[in-house]
Each structure stands twice: as C-alpha cells, then as structure tokens.
Copies of this chain bind each other. A is one copy, B any other.
Amino acid sequence: MNKAEIVEFFDQEFPHYDKISIDQVGKLTATIRHRIGKQELRPGGTVAGPVSMLLADVVIYVAILGELGRVPLTVTTSLNINFLRKPSAESDLIAHCKLIKVGRTLVVGEVDLYSEGKPDLVAHVVGTYAVPPVNNR
C-alpha cells in the first residue's frame, strides 16, 4: 500500500485516531506524528507514556502495511519501550520506524520517538508483529 491508501485505510478503520497523521511511508520505513494537547499531558506537563506506546505501535503497523499490504491477522506480539527524555508539551510527537526484520511469520520494527524540531530521542521502541505465513497472505 502507498501512503494515500494507508491514510484512507486509517480514516475508515481507526476514525478515533484523529490526532495521528502519516508523514511518509517508504522502503521498510514510515514516519507518523501525534498532535499533543491537554489530553495527552500528565501532571507535570509531560506527554503521557501511553501516547508514545500507541504511536510506536501504530507506526510499525503503517510500515508493515507499506511493505506487505493489507495483511489480515497482523497483530502485535511484543513491544519494548524505553523512555529517555521528557517530550515537549508544545510540539507534535514524531515516530520514525525502520523494519529490521521482515520474516516468514514475524516482523520486527525499531522506532525512534522525538518531539518535532528537537534532535534528541524521547523514547526508543522495538516491537514485533506476527504476520500470516507467506503462502497464506
């Protein structure tokens, strides 16, 4: 699927992800962003951790859609996140995914998260998705 097709798929299937938008879908990569408002902030003005986890999970899915197309039964099997720095409360949260393995039944993606305009990582994620075996796709 190309970017336009994935955007349309998300509009249909995940209408409540209306604060997430897709920046780019490329060869084994994808970049998406989440608008940050009051609802995404925790006391102290930091972005709530689950927003980062959601965004990381979604960007890996977007990269898989870009690589394999709309594969049914694609599900997250594990996700490991390390929170590194406090994200900005004023900027979009950006997630960039690179698929480091596209296997027969498992896909592994690595995700860098940062606040727009700042170079330092705010979080780092590795996630795995199970995909149906090639001959069932």
A interface list, Cβ under 8 A from B: 13-14, 16, 39, 42-44, 46, 49-50, 53-54, 57-58, 72-73, 75-86, 100-101, 103, 105-106, 108, 110, 121, 124, 126, 128, 130
Contacts and interface: CB of A to CB of B under 8 A. Distances in A.
Given A77-B82, A82-B101, A84-B100, 5 more contacts: A79-B80, A82-B108, A100-B121, A105-B105, A110-B124
A78 B73 contact: no
Contacts of A13: 42-43
A110 B126 CA distance: 11
Contact of A128 (B46, B53, B75, B78): B78
21 contacts: A49-B79, A50-B50, A75-B86, A77-B128, A78-B78, A78-B80, A78-B81, A78-B83, A78-B128, A79-B79, A79-B81, A80-B126, A82-B100, A82-B101, A84-B101, A84-B108, A85-B101, A100-B121, A106-B130, A110-B124, A124-B126
